[in-house]
A = this chain, B = another copy of it.
């Protein structure tokens, strides 16, 4: 049971490999008759081109690499979904790697993708990534690169993001609009741009609406998860008794906080309003359902691949390409926690 190759078909038909190859790709210098013959024989033998040979010859793998901090994460898995769907449509496959928020791993994975000769790389940076020489290298090798969600401003490449600052501003403003006077913020780690921007949006909203910014109302949720939310909420209850609103960097932290308040008999939103971020679909399932900002993960993945695709196409044709930054719309979702 040997593999079917162009050679095989050529021999069967008594013509050259060249002609077979060209016939299958509809080159204009092959007669209709020969084309028909070749295609028939190819179909009969179930001919499938050997991608390894094609790759070698064309220097393309029709594969892109994707590096994200965490796979088990509603937002990122939505992005993955958007990416692989779009990629498949365009005939590309996606290799997924997880940096676990580690800079070292991220760097290693970039090397891995380069050595695998993917046609493009999409990445959402690890929180701990500050050195970006590994990404510079990608640019030097002229491998199309796209960053999404967690990006670095130091790299000139296409980007897909939301306007974290504006979204956080809107979220905080919503709390103010519903009557909150003293609003705390559960923020993320200090480094990531997202975390900074959401914090700045929060701060600006306060200042624009005559509420004084108080740094003692800002709590850091290092891992931005459920337990962080629990701990921050407990700490908050110890530190302050006059807080009537919280804006959290992520739904998970908000849910953690809500569970604390539920337990202690503090009513949400009567005693304290809570605003999440991301619109993780569980937010609508908890009691009370969580007001939040919708962060379009699936859409982001889709747009991101489309943009990368454009760049890969340009590169193939040796055209030059102008990187773009695409900002996606977020949406304020009002539910029962505010």
Cβ 8 A contact of A98, one of B81, B97, B115: B81
Cβ 8 A contact of A255, one of B61, B78, B81, B285: B285
Q: How many copies does the complex hold?
A: 2
Q: What is the predominant secondary structure among interface residues of chain A facing chain B?
A: helix
Set of chain B residues within 8 Å of A53, measured between Cβ atoms: 56
Q: Are B52 and A226 neighbours in the complex by a CB distance under 8 Å?
A: no
The number of residues on chain A lying at the interface, defined by a beta carbon within 8 Å of a beta carbon of chain B, is: 44
Q: Are B96 and A285 neighbours in the complex by a CB distance under 8 Å?
A: no
Q: Are B115 and A48 neighbours in the complex by a CB distance under 8 Å?
A: yes
Residue of B at shortest CB range from A3? B59
- Chain A 79-111 near chain B by CB (<8 Å), digits 1 or 0: 011001100100001111110000000000100
A235 contacts B by Cβ under 8 Å:
no
Task: Tell me the bound Cα distance from A144 to B50 in angstroms.
Answer: 19
Task: Tell me the bound Cα distance from A73 to B256 in angstroms.
Answer: 20
Residue of B at shortest CB range from A72? B77
Task: Tell me the bound Cα distance from A49 to B114 in angstroms.
Answer: 11
A325 contacts B by Cβ under 8 Å:
no
- Chain A 218-248 near chain B by CB (<8 Å), digits 1 or 0: 0000000010000000000000000000000
Q: A residues 24-60 with Cβ under 8 Å of B?
A: 48-53, 55-56, 59
Q: Are B52 and A56 neighbours in the complex by a CB distance under 8 Å?
A: yes
Task: Tell me the bound Cα distance from A259 to B262 in angstroms.
Answer: 15
Residue of B at shortest CB range from A298? B72
A112 contacts B by Cβ under 8 Å:
yes
A130 contacts B by Cβ under 8 Å:
no
Q: Are A259 and B287 neighbours in the complex by a CB distance under 8 Å?
A: yes
Set of chain B residues within 8 Å of A132, measured between Cβ atoms: none
Task: Tell me the bound Cα distance from A39 to B155 in angstroms.
Answer: 33
A71 contacts B by Cβ under 8 Å:
yes
Q: Are A98 and B71 neighbours in the complex by a CB distance under 8 Å?
A: no
Task: Tell me the bound Cα distance from A117 to B62 in angstroms.
Answer: 13
A152 contacts B by Cβ under 8 Å:
no
Set of chain B residues within 8 Å of A93, measured between Cβ atoms: 95, 97, 112, 116
Q: Are A51 and B81 neighbours in the complex by a CB distance under 8 Å?
A: no
A-B contact pairs, 28 of them (CB 8 A): A49-B115, A50-B56, A51-B115, A52-B52, A52-B59, A55-B55, A56-B56, A71-B81, A72-B74, A72-B78, A72-B80, A72-B81, A81-B98, A84-B96, A84-B97, A85-B98, A88-B97, A93-B95, A93-B97, A93-B112, A93-B116, A94-B96, A226-B281, A226-B285, A255-B282, A255-B285, A282-B282, A285-B286
3 closest Cβ contacts across the A-B interface? Answer: A52-B56, A52-B55, A72-B77
